[in-house]
Structure 1
């Protein structure tokens, strides 16, 4: 274990270099106090996700699973996360695939789907073994670059994340 938590970001937006990616890296940096160690933009490896023997995807799964903190982000599609993210998360063994703190983040066009990350992504991350430290975060996609949009969630959740990460680093 290093003297700082290993952080990862996984983004299930089918568009590379998306607003979802920007939001996820912003959130990870705010929680860890520095840029993430690993950023997985699934749009860049999408065809490889269908090949269960692909060594690069297997490496990414192992690194994400071992991260102390992982922000898992998706745009909201039909009230849920994307199929692209589902393909990646299917690689993780239930209950043991994620071993660190997992933060669900979803972006959407309006408040109608504000419960989507709490009802769809949060239970999945918990099932895969992640420790979800509080409510899932939903952001309007028009506010992804506004620091004020993150602040209420950070104020409520960051202290718990910091305690969990400090315990992991000390272990």
Structure 2
């Protein structure tokens, strides 16, 4: 699994055909999701998120393995992977898009728009959200959150547990990019 992950990262980085000084990346970004429901809240974290920013074109690409989400309970992880996102069929989630504005010389945090295509469970949808940008020394940090409507991605919730799982899930991200060398 790690070997496949590394090969995917190398292929992913090789496809960004630009000057290396304009590329920033992370392989340990953090994405989490939170689902509030009457019976039980569900929270999961993924700290193995790949992300590349090209500051010249303002392009952003993010990729993660669905099986890398960790949960409070093992049974939640099993149900998530086997019954809902079917990670054996749809192993990755991806985002490709653009950052509206990158101010490399501004050390004050600022807000910008990120928009592009989010692919989950074999379904691609256009999304747009506000993100906080922090430029520190040689790092670019993007953070923010947005909502995902579960039904938009053809993720089926069985009637038996429909009240246990929110129809809208809050997704949060924090990505600390360093120069790609």
TM-score, length-scaled by structure 2: 0.30
Larger helix proportion of the pair:
1
The structure number with the bigger radius of gyration is: 2
